[in-house]
Amino acid sequence: MTLRQKQSQFVKMIVLLIVKAEELGYELTFGATYRSIEEATKLGKPNSVHTLKLAVDFNLFKNGSYLKSTKSHEPLGIYWESLSPLCRWGGRWGDGNHYSFEHNGVK
C-alpha cells in the first residue's frame, strides 16, 4: 500500500473511531494532527507519522470532564487496534491520546 493509499485508509478508520467514541459516551476534540518535520524534530521525533498525515492526538471528554490519562483512552485504543494490522495506539508506549497508522516501521 502506498503512503497516499494509507492516508486515505487512515481517514476512513478515524471516522470509525470517532463514531465509536460517541457510542461509548465520549466527546473528542483534535490535538495534534499534522506536524511539520521541523516541529517534529524540535519534539525529538523527526520520524513521526504525524509528518506523514498518518497520526492524530485526540483530547477525550466524558460528561464535560477532560480525561487525560492513558487508561481513559484504553477502550478506544483497543478498538482502534482491532480495525487494522496497521493501527497503532500510543497507550502501548505511554502516549494514550495518540492514534496512528504504522508506516515503514514508524508508529
Using pLDDT thresholds of 50, 70 and 90, give the confidence band for residue 107: confident
* Per-residue model confidence as pLDDT tens digits over 44-84: 988 899 999 999 999 999 999 999 999 999 999 999 999 99
Residue 72 makes CB contacts below 8 A (sequence gap 6+) with 60, 62, 96
Read off the C-alpha cell for 14: 478515524
The reported pTM is: 0.94
- Give every CB contact of residue 94 below 8 A, 6+ residues apart in sequence: 70
In this structure, which topology does domain 3-101 adopt according to CATH? Muramoyl-pentapeptide Carboxypeptidase; domain 2 (3.30.1380)
Separation between Cα atoms, residue 98 and residue 17, nearest integer Å = 12
Domain spans of the chain? Answer: 3-101
Residue among 102, 2, 20, 8 nearest 58 (CA): 20
Report residue 85's pLDDT band, with 50, 70 and 90 as the boundaries: very high
